[in-house]
Structure 1
Amino acid sequence: MRNQAQRWCRSLAHQVGSSVLDLDRGTLRRDGEIVPVRPKTFDLLAFLVRNPGRVLSKDELLQAVWPSTIVTEDSLTQCIRDVRKCIGDETQSLVRTVPRRGYMFQAADDGLSASLPPATAVVQIERAPEPMVAILPFRVNLDDATAKPLFDGAVEEIINALSYFKTIAVLARHSAFALAEHSDQDIWATAERLGADYVAEGSVESADGGYSTHVVLSETASGRRIWAQTFSFRTSEIFAFQRTVAQRIATALVANIESAAMRRTSPAPAANVEAYVHILRGMALLRSYGEGVNQQAREHLLKALERDPDSGLAHAYLALADMIIGGYGGAPRALLDQARDRALHATALNPDEARCHRILALILIYLAEFDAAARHFARALDLNPYDADTLAQTGFFEVIRGHGETGLMLLDQAIQLNPMHPAWYYYDRGEALLVLGRYPEAAASFSCLPRKSAWQWARLAACHALDGNIDKARACAREGRRLNPGLTEQAIMADLQMMRSEDRERIRSGLELAGWDEVQMPTTS
C-alpha cells in the first residue's frame, strides 16, 4: 500500500486560463469539470506551469518529460498540441511557440479570475491509516437501456456499503466515475495520484433471466490481482449482489474486519428494481445542472414512490428536490415544513440509512433548527464516516455556527475522499475560508464555481474587497448585479445563515467596500 503520508502533503493548484491544474492530485479541471489527460501530457503541462515566463528549449522539455528515453521532436509537438487542447488554448496565448528556440508558458491576466494560492493545506484525518479503494462503474455489454443505470446504482450502493467498514476508506462516487473516463493506459496512474490503493472493476453480460457479472479487485501500484469472482443472479437479486460484493472486497482487503460490521447489512434503497431505477435517475438529475433537471428528478422520485411507498431513500431525495425547487432557505415556510416532515418519515422508514439523516439535517439548517440538524449530521457520520458529501455538509454547518477551523477540516477531509468533487464543494470551502479571514484563498475557491449566481458573485466581491483589491471587487459586483439587478445588500444579509454577528458584519463590510448597492447598471434605450 502506498505511503499514506502522500495523501496529506500540501496540494499545489494553479489557475491555467479557465482550467485548474492540481499537481498533487494529478487532476486538471476546466470550467469546473474534470478533463482526462494522458500521463505525458500532464507531465509536460506541469513542467510548463512550474516554469512560467521562461523560454524552454525542446531539448530541455524532452529531457524533463521523457528522461532516459529516445523520442523524436514529433512526440513533443504532438504533446504540445494535446496540452493546448486540454486547456482550451486554441489561440496559443498560454503555451506560446518561440520560433527556433522552444516554447514558453505565459499565464493569462484575467481581471475577474483569482489565481489559486501556491499551496493549500490539506488537513490530516486523525485516524489510523486504512486502504483506499475505488469502485469503478461496471462495463455493461448489453443493449438493455435499464442495465446501465441499474449497475451504476449497484456500484454506488457497493461504495455506500463499503463505507460501513470503518477500517476501509472509499473513493467517493463522483471521483470514481470521473476516474473511469480515463483511457485504460491512464487509469492506473490517475488512480494512484488520487490516493486509491486498490481499484475494483466489473463487467456485465446477460444470463438466463438476469445477469452475469465478473468483478476484479487489483492493487494500484503493482496491478496485482487481489480477488476476482463471477456472480450470476436474477434481476430481482441485485441487492443481495451489492452486499455480497462489498463484503468480499472488505474481506480481501482487511483480514480482521469487525464481525459486527460484517453482520451489518446495507439498507436496500427500494423493494423492487423498477422503483430503484427511478431513484437512481432522480439522484443523477439532482446532481446535474440544466433547465428543469430538478423538476425531472422530482417526477422520477414520485414514480419510485408509486412503486414502493416505503422507500426511505426516495422520500428523502424527494424532500431534497422540493427544497431545491423552492429555493433552499428562500422557500416558503410551509414547503420547508413539508420537506422536513417527509425527511423525518424517511429516517423512520430507514433509520440506518445515512443519506436520509444527512438530507434531513440539511433541511433543518434552512429551518434554523440547528440543534436537531447537529444530531442528524452526527448520526449520518456515525452510520457512514467516509461519506464525502456528509463530511462536506457537516463542515458547512460548522462554518455557519462560527466554527471555521472545524468546518474547514471537515471540508478538506471530504475533498480528500472525493478529489473530483461536485462544484458546490468550492462554495462551502469558500465560506469557511471567508469566515477565517483567509480572503485570497476564499476568492480562489469561489472563483472555481463554473456557473456563479448573483449571491456567489457577492461572496467573491466581498472577498476581493476585504483583501484590498477594490477593482476586482467592483468588477464582481457589476457581474452579480447584472445577473440580478434587484439583489441588494439588505437582501443578501437577510438570506445570510451565519449565526455569529462578527461573521455577518465581515460579509456586510465586504459588500459595502465593493460598492454592491452603488453599482450602476447600464440602461437600455
Structure 2
Amino acid sequence: MVFRFGEFELDQQRAELRGPDGGVLKLRPKSFEMLQFFVSNAGRVLTKQELMEAIWPKVFVGEDSLFQCIREIRGVLGDERRQVIKLATGGGYLFTPEVSNLPAGQPHRPDAAGVVPAVTNPPQTPADATQVNGRWLGSRRQVAVAAGLFGLCAVVALWTAAQAFRPTLVFSSPRPVVALTSIVDSSDEPRGTAMAAEVTARLTDGFAKIANISVIGPRPTQASGSTVSSDYEIAGELHRSEKSWTLRARLIKTDTGEVQSVAAVSVASDGLKTELQQSRLAAGVGQPLARRLNEILEATSSDMGRTAGGTKVVIEQAAASIYQTSRERFGLAQTLLQNALNDDPNNVDVAVALVALQMRGIQMVWYTPDEVVAAEEKATATIERALRAKPNSIAVLETYCRFLSATNHFAESLVTCARTLSFDPWNGLALFLVGLGQLHLGRFDDALATFQQADRFDTPPISRWTWLVGAGWATLVLGNAEAALPWLQRSIAITPATGRTHMLLAAAYQQLGRTEEAKAAMREGLKLRPGTTALNVAPPMKNASPAFRAASDHQIQFMIAAGLPEK
C-alpha cells in the first residue's frame, strides 16, 4: 500500500517516503521502519517499549537509538514544533495526521486538472548505468566501487558497535532460565484475580527485558506436554488488606528449592489508579529480585573465596567516616578504601565504594581544583577495571552511570545507564540519571517522560525524591509552572533538606505571581545552601546544550526576583 498523510506519501513496496513535490526524501532504514510503524498505528499512543520492540526485535539498544530515529523523522517532515509526532501525556508518542491509503503502483497524485497522467515508456539508457531519484549516476563499475566502500564502512561500524556492547550481548555459556509462575491471589477480593494476573504479566514483561537471562512465562493450568526446565523460579502471593495491596515474592533455585531472595511491597489500594498500583507492585518486587539474581550470576570464584565480612567492615568504616561532611573525614575514608583495594586489587565491591566516595568528593568540592582532574582520572580507571571484571554487574554499571553524570559526561552516561536498565528494568535511580542527561542535552520532553516512568515504578523508594525534583525541573523549563508545583512539593515532603529544590519551587511560584510564597521558598533554600548566588546556583554547565543553558538562565531570573542574591 501507499499511505498518504498531509503532503507526504509512504510507499511500502518501494520503501520510499515522497515529499510534496513527489521527490523521494532520505531516511535511514530504521527511521523509515519507525515511520512506517507510526503511520500504520496513526491515532494510537505507542509506548517507547512498544516502538523499540517493533524496530529492534530481540536486540538490546538504548533509548538514544529511539530518540535519534524520532529526531530524524521530525526533521524530514518539518515537524520542528512536534505536532506530527507528539509526546503523549503519561509517556509514549502519538502520530497525529489522518492517514489514507492507495493501492501500490497507483501514481502518487493527480495533475493540477485532477486527471491522472498517463504512464509513458521511460527513455532508453545505457546498460552500464544506474538511476537514483531520476538522475543517472554513472557506470555500474562506479556504483559497485561505491557500494563496496559503503559495505566496508557498514562492517566496520557493526564491528565497533559489537565491541562496545560485547559484554552485554554476547554470552560464552547458555543463559540461565528463569520461570515465572502465576501470582497467587489470596485477597478474597473480587478484583484480586484480575489484579494478580496483571501483576504477573508485568513481572514477566520486566524480567523478559533482562539481557543475560531467558524467561519462561506462566502457563495455563490445563497445559500438558513437556515443560522447559528452569534454573530459577519466581513465585508470589497477593494479599489485600483494608488500605493496601501487598505482594510477597521469592526467587527460588529450582534444583534445590533453596530460597535465594524474598521481596515484599505494599501499595495503597485507594487514591491510586489501578494501572499505577499494578506497576508499583510489579516493580516493588521485581527490582530487588532482579538485583539479587544479578549478584548471583555475576559472582566469581574469587568472590566466594574472599572474606565477605572483612570487605563489609572496611566499606562500613569508610561510610561512617563521612557521615559528618568534612574534608578530613573524607580523606580518612578514601585512605581506608584505597588501602583495601591495594591489598585486593580484584575486589569489585571495594572499587565501587571507592569510586562512589570519590564522586561524592567531587560533588562536595572536597578536592582542591588541582586535585579534581587527577581524581576523575583515577576514579575512571578504577571503575573501568571493575567493569572489565564484571561487565554485567548492576552495582558497577550503576556507579559508573552516576559517576559519568556527576562529571557532566551526559552522552556517555545515557549509554551506561541504558546498560544498567538492561539488567534492572525498574531501576529508578538509573532512570533519573537518564532523565538528567536528557535535560542537560536539551531534550526536555524526553526527560519529563523518563522521570514520569520512574515515578510509575517508584523503586527504589529511597531515591524517590530525585525523579520527583527532576520531573518538576523538566516541567518548569517546558514552561508549565503550575504543573511543576506538585512534583517539587512531593520531592520536598520526602527530602526537605535539598536547598536547590526550594529554589526551583521559588522560581515556579514567582512565575505564577505568588510572590510571597516565592520569597518564603527562596529564604528556605538559602538557609539550606548559604552562599548561593545567581553565579553558582546552576549546576556545572560543561557539556550542557545551549537550550539547557538558556532555560537555566531564564529560571535564574525568576529566582533573583524571589530574593536570590545576584553576587
TM-score, structure 2 length as denominator? 0.44
Structure exhibiting the larger radius of gyration computed from Cα positions: 2
TM-score, structure 1 length as denominator? 0.47
Q: Which has the higher contact order (CA 8 A, sep 6+)?
A: 1
